[in-house]
């Protein structure tokens, strides 16, 4: 007969087992000894979310994901191995391994997915929080600032309350959501919804790299193009934007409510709220909403109105650029001002109830008043429009646009006011006195212009006669220029094209002089290089650039359209490069994000082909002598073009190198034999190219590079990583989502081959082009030049002339920007 004491002990043991079983089936933490296998799950402490293995739809593939626990509709909000499905889960586990890394290991103990955690803690655990956030942290430490890793930083297709959609500028990390490939494949799809901080923050929807929809800028209350997103009883929302971060986030007013923002496989962002078992998920917000949300639907200065049959129109005082195409529903070319601007007497016209234009090329100041904003815009001829930055409290702050306005939509009752620059005559078009005055001024202007043309024509004829006389005396030099047959532009044309060389048209300034943007009468955009009287480069350099570049034709060399030589004015006219110089994008933390790996590799190859043409395939064998990031220009499609041939030299016959007493170039790009001994050759250009390659891959400058573990420059750092087989660490963090592993490593290897100390060891540009485009075995590089001599040229001045103590060679260093 069993005693009562025994029965009591049995009940205690049974209760203990039940409690232990219940806890093990509902745990929210795993570590190195407690792991998750198929059939087991993690459940957050309040039971809101669950993590485990699942198969979407009818798929037989297995994934590790997080889903809502308390609702009947199976809804996945995060997937770990979305692009690495498991076909066999036998022996597969999710566990915390060494160094606090959460890893999914298959039956062969190979890592299928990991958290890629940085940092080490004593007792690491992974925990599923009540928010749905999976975190890796020190056990019993709930400080979110100390998390080693969290799934909220790496969303898949859903944005949950508390998540941040945007950028951390300190770490260069971006969090954004991307659609599943299909309902049965959670892999990374084509559509992405992200926050674009360029100019001023706005949400954008892209299909790969093509922009499909734009929310409009944040105005303190919401996005100007999403009137349906407004204050509500379910959640609060805001955009946080400062020097360290830019992100959108939302928080639930009632924690018992379930709400999420997701993007579907068709590229539509959707806001969902769970009602109950009967009604399920209810969608109450989508973006885009209609055809007027299509990015650039009506072109520049066009407005889209979904309430009319012909949805595209022009802003008042604007007309369609191509009326025939417009009537055929082709609005891509947009609209133009009915009356051109003259800058000095322009004004602003108010347009109301609109979605504000694209803010990629905008500027803002949070402390200005609207009137101060107007004054700033009026003084800058490139400023096309302005408005309040924040519409709260009657409107505060200043937001300016500096390009053509695009993607404007009519939003009745919910849009904003925009003040657009127009000609003064358009502000009071009915004033008879104004019309009369304009007619009189136009007539006087025409008479003055005719007289000016006759005067310039006479001056030009006299100048040409003088040049011919000089030609008979100088013979060789004049004949050399006559062979060029380079088109000439008169001074009046260039003056009009650049708005009298106004400051707002200035693109930059180098050793040659200022460079201006301009537009000819036929609409062709140009860049005008104007020789400064105080230029470090003189008439010889001007002639040098004309002689060389006029004879060179290659898609990766900037195209010289002509020159202007009248009186003391000497100018070179080039094709305009819409994206400016490479250095302005590459070394800028925000702009550098535009350059994914395919674009960077395209730029590297383009520079290589252009340099190969100069060294081998052109009529002359040209040594550039100042190849650097600021002398690489980028067109609209990011095609690189080598520019600035003012210091270039040519070789004749079988010449391969030369010596000079006047070294010209930029510290950080000059080869050792050129900088120290004045010896230049094609191999000195190869060295400069190698520096460029390493800068493009890393996004960092060679000169001024600093590292906490050593005192070498960028070349030295790349060399150390290569020797330790850690070359991938050199790659810029922005390339993580786009890089091709073999291309990145190969580019670094080729770059190191080009910057070797001895010129004889460096490859020719023909070999470089072949190495970049093939997959063969590469020779091992030797130590780079200036590896152990970083401080030889440590002076910070980028424009100077100094003598070397070793051989009295003159160093003329050009502006390196």
The set of catalytic residues is: 626
Four-residue CA torsion sign, 323, 327, 330, 335: positive
The answer to whether 606 and 640 have CB atoms below 8 angstroms apart is yes
**How far apart are the C-alpha atoms of 283 and 505, rounded to whole Å?**
49
**How far apart are the C-alpha atoms of 1 and 98, rounded to whole Å?**
54
DSSP state of 748: H
Residue 443: Cβ within 10 Å count: 10
One DSSP character per residue, 80-94 reads SSTTS-BS--TT-EE
> Which tokens belong to 151?
């799934």
Three-class secondary structure of residue 677 per DSSP: helix
Three-class secondary structure of residue 219 per DSSP: coil
Taking alpha carbons only, the member of 581, 679, 683 closest to residue 629 is 581
- The beta-strand segments (E) located in 456-530 are 506-509, 514-519, 525-530
Three-class secondary structure of residue 603 per DSSP: helix
DSSP state of 41: -
3-state secondary structure 337-391: ECCCCCCCCCEEEEEEEEECCCCCCEEEECCCCHHHHHHHHHHCCCCCEEECCEC
The answer to whether 408 and 384 have CB atoms below 8 angstroms apart is no
Residue 135: Cβ within 10 Å count: 22
One DSSP character per residue, 250-290 reads EEESSTTS-EEEEE-TTS-EEEEEE--TTT-EEEEEEES-S
> Which tokens belong to 689?
């190219």
Three-class secondary structure of residue 510 per DSSP: coil
**How far apart are the C-alpha atoms of 652 and 468, rounded to whole Å?**
28
Element (H, E) at 440: helix 432-474
> Which tokens belong to 301?
């200065």
- Give the contacts of 30 (CB within 8 A, at least 6 positions apart): 36, 42, 94, 95, 96, 125, 126
- The beta-strand segments (E) located in 106-201 are 111-114, 124-128, 134-138, 149-150, 158-159, 165-168, 173-175, 177-182, 185-196
Instruction: Please report, for residues 95, 344, 420, 433, 436, the alpha-carbon distance to residue 430 in angstroms, rounded to integers and kept in the order given.
Output: 77, 21, 19, 9, 11
**How far apart are the C-alpha atoms of 54 and 63, rounded to whole Å?**
5
Q: Angle 255-257-259 (CA atoms, 0-180°, nearest 5)?
A: 110
The answer to whether 420 and 315 have CB atoms below 8 angstroms apart is yes
- Give the contacts of 45 (CB within 8 A, at least 6 positions apart): 28, 130
**How far apart are the C-alpha atoms of 308 and 306, rounded to whole Å?**
6
Residue 39: Cβ within 10 Å count: 8
Three-class secondary structure of residue 477 per DSSP: helix
Beta strands 149-150; 318-320: pairing state:
unpaired
- Adjacent-strand bridge partners of 508: 515
**How far apart are the C-alpha atoms of 267 and 260, rounded to whole Å?**
16
Give me the phi and psi of 319, to 5 degrees please. Answer: -130, 155
């Amino acid at each position: 007969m069993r005693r009562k004491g025994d029965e009591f002990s049995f009940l205690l043991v049974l209760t203990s087992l039940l409690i232990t079983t219940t806890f093990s089936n509902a745990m929210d933490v795993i570590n190195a000894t407690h792991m998750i296998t198929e059939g087991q799950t993690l459940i957050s402490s309040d039971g809101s979310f669950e993590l485990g293995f699942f198969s979407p739809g009818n798929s037989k593939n297995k994934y590790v994901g997080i889903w809502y626990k308390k609702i009947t509709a199976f809804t996945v909000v995060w997937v770990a191995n979305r692009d690495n499905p498991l076909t066999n889960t036998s022996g597969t586990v999710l566990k915390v391994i060494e160094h606090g890394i959460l890893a999914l290991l298959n039956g062969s103990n190979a890592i299928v997915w990991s958290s890629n955690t940085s940092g080490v803690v004593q007792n690491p655990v992974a925990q599923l929080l009540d928010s749905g956030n999976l975190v890796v942290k020190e056990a019993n430490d709930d400080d979110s600032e100390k998390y080693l890793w969290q799934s909220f930083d790496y969303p898949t297709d859903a944005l949950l309350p508390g998540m941040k959609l945007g950028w951390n500028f300190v770490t260069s990390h971006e969090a954004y959501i991307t659609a599943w490939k299909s309902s049965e494949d959670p892999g990374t799809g084509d559509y992405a919804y992200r926050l674009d901080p360029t100019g001023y923050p706005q949400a954008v929807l892209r299909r790969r790299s093509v922009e499909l929809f734009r929310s409009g800028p944040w105005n303190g209350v919401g996005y100007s193009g999403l009137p349906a997103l407004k204050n509500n009883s379910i959640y609060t929302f805001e955009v946080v934007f400062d020097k360290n971060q830019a992100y959108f986030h939302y928080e639930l007013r009632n924690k018992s409510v379930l709400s999420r923002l997701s993007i579907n496989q068709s590229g539509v962002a959707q806001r969902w709220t769970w009602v109950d078992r009967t009604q399920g998920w209810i969608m109450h917000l989508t973006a885009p909403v209609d055809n007027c949300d299509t990015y650039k639907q009506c072109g520049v200065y066009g407005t889209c109105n979904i309430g009319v049959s012909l949805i595209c129109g022009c802003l008042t005082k604007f007309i369609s650029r191509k009326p025939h195409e417009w009537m055929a529903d082709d609005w891509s070319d947009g609209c133009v001002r009915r009356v051109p601007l003259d800058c000095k007497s322009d004004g602003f016209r108010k347009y109301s109830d609109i979605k504000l234009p694209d803010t990629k090329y905008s500027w803002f100041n949070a402390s200005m008043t609207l009137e101060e904003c107007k004054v700033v815009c009026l003084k800058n001829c490139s400023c096309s429009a302005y408005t309040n930055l924040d519409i709260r409290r009657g409107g505060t702050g200043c937001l300016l646009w500096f390009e053509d306005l695009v993607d404007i939509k009519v939003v009745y009752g919910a849009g904003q006011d925009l003040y657009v620059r127009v000609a003064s005559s358009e502000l009071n078009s009915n004033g008879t006195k104004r019309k009369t005055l304009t007619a009189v001024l136009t007539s006087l202007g025409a008479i003055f212009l005719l007289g000016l043309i006759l005067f310039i024509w006479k001056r030009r004829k006299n100048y040409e006669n003088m040049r011919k006389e000089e030609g008979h005396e100088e013979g060789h030099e004049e004949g050399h220029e006559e062979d060029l047959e380079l088109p000439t532009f008169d001074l009046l044309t260039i003056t009009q094209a650049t708005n009298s060389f106004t400051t707002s048209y200035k693109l930059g300034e180098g050793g040659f002089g200022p460079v201006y943007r301009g537009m000819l009468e036929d609409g062709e955009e140009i860049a005008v290089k104007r020789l400064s009287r105080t230029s470090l480069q003189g008439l010889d350099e001007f002639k040098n650039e004309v002689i060389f570049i006029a004879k060179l034709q290659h898609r990766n060399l900037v195209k010289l359209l002509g020159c202007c030589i009248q009186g003391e004015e000497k100018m070179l006219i080039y094709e305009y490069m819409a994206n400016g110089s490479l250095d302005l994008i590459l070394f800028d933390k925000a702009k550098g994000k535009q350059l994914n790996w395919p674009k960077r590799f395209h730029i590297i190859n383009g520079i290589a082909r252009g340099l190969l043409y100069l060294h081998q395939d052109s009529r002359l064998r040209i040594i550039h002598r100042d190849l650097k990031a600021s002398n690489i220009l980028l067109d609209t499609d990011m095609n690189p073009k080598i520019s600035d041939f003012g210091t270039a030299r040519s070789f004749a016959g079988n010449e391969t190198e030369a010596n000079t007493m006047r070294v010209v170039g930029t510290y950080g790009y000059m080869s050792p034999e050129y900088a120290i001994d004045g010896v230049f050759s094609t191999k000195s250009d190869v060295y400069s190219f190698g520096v460029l390659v390493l800068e493009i891959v890393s996004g960092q400058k060679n000169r001024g590079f600093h590292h906490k573990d050593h005192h070498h420059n960028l070349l030295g750092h790349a060399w150390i990583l290569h020797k330790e087989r850690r070359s991938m660490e050199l790659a810029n963090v922005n390339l993580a989502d786009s890089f091709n592993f073999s291309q990145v490593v190969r580019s670094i290897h080729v770059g190191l081959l080009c910057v070797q100390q001895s010129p004889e060891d460096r490859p020719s540009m023909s070999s470089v082009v072949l190495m970049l485009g093939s997959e063969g075995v590469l020779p091992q590089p030797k130590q780079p030049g200036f590896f152990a001599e970083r401080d030889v040229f440590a002076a910070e001045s980028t424009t100077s002339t100094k003598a070397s103590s070793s051989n009295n060679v003159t160093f003329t260093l050009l502006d390196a920007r």
